[in-house]
A and B are shown apart, each in its own frame.
Chain A
Amino acid sequence: MEKEKAKKIREGDVRTATRLIRNLEDCIPEAKQTVKHIFPYTGKAHIIGLTGSPGAGKSTLTDALITSYRGKNKTVGVLAVDPTSPFTGGAILGDRIRMQKHAEDPEVFVRSLATRGALGGLSNAVGDAIHILDAMGKDIILVETVGTGQQEVEVINHAHTVIVVLVPGMGDEIQLMKAGIMEIADIFVINKADRDGAQQLHALLETMLNMAHDFPGGWRPPVIMVENIFDQVPFRAKIAELAGKINEHYGHLKDSQLLVDRLRRKMMVEIKEALRTLILEPILRELTESGEFEHMIEKLISKESDPYTLIEELVKRLKKDIRSRSSQNK
């Protein structure tokens, strides 16, 4: 059954793929079983992350990049993430609006995801969703994060090439000096560069880059100014320049140790994610269902115990369970 699904996905079946992504988002345990059969077929796509503040133009750039890649006959998958309401659990997924002109192109598959409480600017399902698009045979996978602030850097764990999209008027040079999102760019885009302050931002960014004495693998992030989308000819030229830089970066990764480094980082995250879903979540589920979780909370409120003692006791009990189970199996 799972093998059959995986095969369908590899053959490019959109319905099976999007349903599997949904089951992963909904944390249906069987969905992970299907991923087992997909994983061996991954690793071929170039994964590109786009991040930046809300309204910076990530979706519009994604759309323009789709057009550019389709012009080169590359197949494209897009994962676009938008935030989930912490109050109602609902979400408006609106990135697709900018990409609808590709809706009738069968080689473009766009899937929106809600964060569902994940904090890094993506969804917990995004890693597996990337695998799915990869196994479908998409040459290029564009991952668009939620509108980010300073600290949502999760995208570097998934993408080969990270594009940070900036717009003028978002603060002074101190903002550019801060840790976090400014450190993760492989390519900077200054979008809406026809607006006031764009040249200044460009200069500040270059100054900041000049101050760095060492770039990992020798790649200095280029800065690309993208002007008004309504002026189509220069806009398209800038997008071509951006696509060229993305390609150049991928080549650089391949020619240096960097691709291996990124792959290792990605696999590390995969292991952590699997630990979380296969160990932490079942334990949490059992504690919740048995009512023990509530007991624990009360013990903490009444100061009868502390979090570390509680979990140490739990770990001891779990270890004992595992031992008695394995001796039964012998």
Chain B
Amino acid sequence: MTQRKIRVMVAKPGLDGHDRGAKILARCFREAGFEVIYTGCHQSPEQIATAAIQEDVDMVGLSCLSGAHRYLFPKVAELLKEQGANDVIVIGGGIIPDEDFKMLYNAGLKAIFTPGTPLTEIVEWVKNHVAPRS
């Protein structure tokens, strides 16, 4: 019987190998009933964008703790757009200073979550803002 499901990808761009948070979030999304593609650490924005397209995800969650988010996050959003996948929602998380929020939103990110955010808040955000596409 017809059943739409939210598909999301959790990815870690760049050289940062601290994936505890990303893994916990992936697990949390699974428990919320989403299908979660996890691609592991050390991904280039190109790898992430291609994987997101091949997997037909509704949302990409990027995690970065190294400070390179100002380049990596917008680059993923840009590559998705370039390949006609601008309907894929991009969100970000990690150690992100307040003053960077504006440029990330301008680059197309739809939400940014920083350390201390309750997991339930992120799951709720996804449920409210991401609809499985048809």
Which residues of A does B touch, CB under 8 Å? Answer: 14-15, 18-19, 21-23, 25-29, 84-85, 88-94, 96-97, 100, 103-104, 109-112, 114, 281, 284-285, 288
Contacts and interface: CB of A to CB of B under 8 A. Distances in A.
A23 B134 contact: yes
A19 B88 CA distance: 13
B4 interface: yes
Contact of A26 (B2, B32, B36, B46): B2
Contacts of A100: 39-40, 43, 47, 51
A103 B46 contact: yes
Binding site secondary structure of chain A? mixed
A29 B3 CA distance: 11
Contacts of A89: 5, 33
B36 A18 contact: no
Given A90-B35, A96-B39, A109-B54, 14 more contacts: A14-B53, A15-B85, A18-B56, A84-B35, A85-B33, A88-B32, A89-B5, A90-B30, A90-B31, A93-B36, A110-B51, A111-B55, A281-B1, A285-B1
Contacts, number: 99
A90 B123 CA distance: 13
Contacts of B84: 15
Q: Which among B27, B35, B43 has the highest number of chain A CB atoms within 10 Å?
A: B35
Contacts of A84: 35
Contacts of B7: 22
A289 to B, nearest CB: 10
B124 to A, nearest CB: 15
Q: Which among A21, A88, A281 has the highest number of chain B CB atoms within 10 Å?
A: A88
A18 B55 contact: yes
B134 A103 contact: no
Interface in B31-84: 31-40, 43-44, 46-48, 50-51, 53-56, 84
A104 B47 contact: yes
B32 A103 contact: no
A28 B37 contact: no
B89 interface: no
B4 A26 contact: yes
Contacts of B35: 84, 90-91, 93, 114
A21 B56 contact: yes
A92 B43 CA distance: 18
A93 B5 contact: no
A30 B54 CA distance: 21
Nearest to B26: A92
Q: Which among A18, A103, A110 has the highest number of chain B CB atoms within 10 Å?
A: A103
A253 to B, nearest CB: 29
A27 B3 contact: yes
Contact of A28 (B40, B44, B134): B134
A172 B20 CA distance: 37
A57 B11 CA distance: 22
A97 B30 contact: no
A104 B27 CA distance: 27
30 contacts: A14-B54, A15-B56, A19-B133, A21-B56, A23-B134, A25-B5, A26-B2, A26-B3, A26-B5, A26-B134, A84-B35, A88-B30, A88-B32, A89-B5, A90-B30, A91-B35, A92-B26, A92-B36, A92-B38, A96-B37, A100-B51, A103-B43, A103-B47, A103-B50, A103-B51, A103-B54, A110-B51, A110-B54, A111-B54, A111-B56
Interface string B1-25: 1111101000000000000000000
A92 B27 contact: yes
B54 A92 contact: no
Contacts of B48: 103
A90 B34 contact: yes
Contacts of B2: 26-29
A88 B39 contact: no
Nearest to A27: B2
B31 A88 contact: yes
